[in-house]
């Protein structure tokens, strides 16, 4: 499918419409917004196999994966609807006046979270549903009370357009203001640039490459009024193989990680791209089993030609570095174009420490093993890693208690620290943190997954000395919404 890039004139019209919509939508009660979000989910669900088959043709993703991702997308929309219906997410806080306080009277102060305004969302290439047109960024921004303008990803423009039409149907059916949602196409970077630089835009959501996310972040900070860009840009997600754990489970861990490295052709931002272990017989066993497993995994088609070319280019660069060896590569030949070859490379720690090229993500079914002499050298490697989305410890409890600096170092550089598991698979829920220190994301305080994603698109605002009838319902003394609030320093309903 071929779609026309949005013009500057079209963007201007959509931005003005979103500004007008915000005047009404920001005052829309939470329960009405919940009805809207549920209607979006229903409209997407009603598209049935037509949507799935179109997405498959555009992304090479298998139908079972797309069914699962669509389910996650519907769940996210309904999750935010539940959040709005319950209402406590606004974090209301009330301190009543005390006019008799000395030496100065205490004013009546009340605070809650309010929406920031128009949010621009950039669709992700590797998640045509869950991180795209009606994905987590859009759902959380609409839940916050913000109009949304989505720039669909050109790799699946037809899918994005179909989902956008479903959202617009929900807008009409639920009586939401015109301009509360809009969708544009744009292969040219100028479209994205115009959206970020427009003065009506108040925040940006992005999931993708470091180059793309950093470019948008820099643009946003060059504006006369800088705005936040919440960009999740991926990472190498280091996995640490502690020696005691490896003594009894090296083979099983290798099988587990062969699957994790290659699931979805390695096209997840949480793909374990770096494995760090200590040179000994147990690690050799791990390497042997990992090699056997990788050699049996057939290459599969990647999302599109651009991602495949990027994978091949970065893979080639890493394998060409001095002292880097190929540990394993699939023995099954490609059966179609743009299939990524499952590959494991290995390198000594001292080489890794002195070669920044080896620290970079290779997006696809690839992982680099770093071989350390001892725990001291392992700690040195960890201390040189950049910010990550995840870090994983394969260990027994005793060795972490004896070497607390290992987990302390990892805790400082990642958003999610995993004990004896795999980083692939991101559970949607309140405790999930999907984001990490730069360059994994542009703001490590926030994540793109779970109900807390709504906090990216709001700001705190206080009311001082206001009459009861002029306060939002969330801040009225009698608590008409029956939400949990912090009143005079005590949480209660």
H-helix segments, 26-86: 30-46, 48-59, 63-86
Catalytic residue among 58, 69, 146, 269: 269
Phi–psi pair at 388, nearest 5 degrees: -130, 155
Whether residues 255 and 380 fall in one domain: yes
CB distance 363 to 267 below 8 Å = yes
Regarding whether 402 and 302 lie in a shared domain, the answer is: yes
266 in the same domain as 173: no
Is 232 designated active site? yes
The reply to whether 122 falls in a domain is yes
Same domain, 180 and 54: yes
Assess whether 210 and 296 both reside in one domain. Answer: no
Q: What is the domain-level CATH number for residue 285?
A: 3.40.309.10
Please state, in angstroms and rounded to a whole number, the distance separating the CA atoms of residues 341 and 330. 6
Residue 269 is a catalytic residue: yes
Residue 230: is it exposed, middle or buried by C-beta count within 10 angstroms (0-12/13-18/19+)?
buried
Residues 186 and 260 grouped into a single domain: no
Contact between residue 138 and residue 148 where contact means Cβ atoms under 8 Å apart: yes
pTM of the complete model:
0.95
User: Is 430 within a domain?
Assistant: no
Looking at the structure, tell me whether residues 263 and 393 fall in a common domain.
yes
Residues 76 and 115 in one domain: yes
Q: Whose structure tokens read 């390497």?
A: 287
The count of structural domains within the chain is 2
Residues 6+ apart with CB under 8 A from 201: 15, 117, 118, 119, 120, 149, 195, 227
Question: How many other C-beta atoms can be found within 10 angstroms of the C-beta atom of residue 114?
Answer: 16
Nearest to 429 by CA among 75, 121, 127, 85: 75
Q: Which of 58, 232, 329, 474 is catalytic?
A: 232
Contact (CB, 8 A) for 230 and 456 = yes
| Helix intervals (H) in 111-264 | 136-144, 157-174, 189-197, 210-222, 243-262
Rounded CA gap, 274 and 434, in Å? 18
pLDDT at 1: 76
Same domain, 91 and 130: yes
Instruction: State the residue for tokens 């045509």.
Output: 128
- One DSSP character per residue, 367-395 reads EEEEEESSHHHHHHHHHT---EEEEEEE-
277 falls within a domain: yes
Q: Return per-residue pLDDT of the chain as tens, 493 residues.
A: 789 999 999 999 999 999 999 999 999 999 999 999 999 999 999 999 999 999 999 999 999 999 999 999 999 999 999 999 999 999 999 999 999 999 999 999 999 999 999 999 999 999 999 999 999 999 999 999 999 999 999 999 999 999 999 999 999 999 999 999 999 999 999 999 999 999 999 999 999 999 999 999 999 999 999 999 999 998 999 999 999 999 999 999 999 999 999 999 999 999 999 999 999 999 999 999 999 999 999 999 999 999 999 999 999 999 999 999 999 999 999 999 999 999 999 999 999 999 999 999 999 999 999 999 999 999 999 999 999 999 999 999 999 999 999 999 999 999 999 999 999 989 999 999 999 999 999 999 999 999 999 999 999 999 999 999 999 999 999 999 999 999 999 999 8
**Is residue 128 a contact partner of residue 55, using CB atoms and an 8 Å limit?**
yes
Q: How far apart are the first and last CA of the chain?
A: 53
Task: Say if residue 324 is in the same domain as residue 414.
Answer: yes
CATH number of the structural domain spanning residue 37: 3.40.605.10
The label of the residue with tokens 């006369």 reads 224
Where does a domain end: 373, 404, 419? 419
Q: Is 385 part of any domain? A: yes
| Domain housing 55 | 8-233+444-487
The verdict on 46 and 191 lying in the same domain is: yes
**93 pairs with which residues across the strands?**
111, 486
Same domain, 245 and 259: yes
């Amino acid at each position: 499918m071929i779609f026309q890039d949005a013009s500057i004139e079209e963007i201007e019209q959509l931005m003005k419409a979103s500004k007008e919509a915000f005047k009404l939508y920001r005052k829309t009660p939470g329960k009405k917004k919940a009805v809207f979000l549920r209607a979006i989910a229903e409209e997407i669900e009603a598209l049935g196999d037509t949507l799935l088959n179109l997405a498959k043709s555009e992304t090479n993703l298998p139908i079972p994966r797309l069914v699962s991702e669509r389910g996650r997308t519907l769940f996210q929309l309904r999750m935010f609807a539940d959040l709005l219906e319950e209402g406590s997410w606004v974090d209301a806080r009330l301190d009543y006046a005390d006019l008799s306080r000395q030496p100065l009277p205490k004013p009546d102060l009340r605070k809650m979270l309010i929406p920031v305004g128009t949010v621009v969302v950039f669709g992700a290439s590797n998640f045509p549903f869950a991180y795209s047109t009606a994905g987590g960024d859009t759902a959380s921004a609409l839940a916050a009370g913000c109009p949304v303008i989505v720039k669909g990803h050109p790799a699946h423009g037809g899918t994005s357009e179909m989902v956008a039409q479903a959202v617009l149907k929900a807008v009409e059916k639920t009586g939401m203001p015109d301009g509360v949602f809009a969708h544009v196409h744009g292969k040219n970077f100028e479209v994205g640039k115009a959206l970020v630089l427009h003065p009506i835009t108040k925040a940006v959501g992005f999931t993708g490459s470091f180059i793309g996310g950093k470019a948008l972040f820099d643009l946003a900070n060059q504006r006369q009024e800088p705005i936040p860009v919440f960009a999740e840009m991926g990472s190498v997600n280091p996995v640490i193989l502690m020696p005691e754990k490896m003594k009894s489970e090296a083979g099983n861990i290798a099988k587990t990680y062969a699957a994790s490295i290659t699931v979805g052709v390695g096209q997840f931002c949480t793909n374990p791209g770096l494995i760090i272990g200590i040179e000994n017989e147990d690690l050799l066993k791990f390497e042997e089993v990992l090699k056997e497993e990788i050699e049996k995994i057939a290459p599969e088609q990647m999302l599109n030609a651009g991602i495949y070319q990027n994978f091949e280019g970065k893979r080639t660069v890493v394998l060409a570095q001095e002292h880097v060896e190929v540990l394993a590569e699939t023995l099954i030949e490609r059966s179609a174009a743009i299939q990524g070859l499952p590959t494991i490379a290995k390198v000594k720690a001292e080489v890794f420490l002195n070669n920044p090229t080896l620290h970079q993500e290779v997006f696809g079914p690839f992982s680099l093993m770093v071989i350390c002499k001892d725990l001291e050298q392992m700690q040195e490697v960890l201390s040189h890693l950049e910010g990550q989305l995840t870090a994983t410890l394969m260990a027994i409890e005793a060795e972490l208690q004896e070497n607390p600096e290992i987990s302390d170092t990892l805790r400082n550089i990642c958003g999610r620290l995993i004990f004896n598991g795999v980083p692939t698979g991101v559970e949607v829920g309140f405790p999930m943190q999907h984001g990490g220190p730069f360059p994994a994301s542009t703001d490590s305080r926030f994540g793109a997954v779970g109900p807390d994603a709504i906090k990216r698109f709001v700001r705190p605002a206080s009311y001082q000395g206001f009459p009861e009838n002029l306060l939002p319902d969330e801040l009225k003394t009698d608590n008409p919404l029956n939400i949990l609030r912090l009143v005079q320093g005590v949480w209660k309903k």
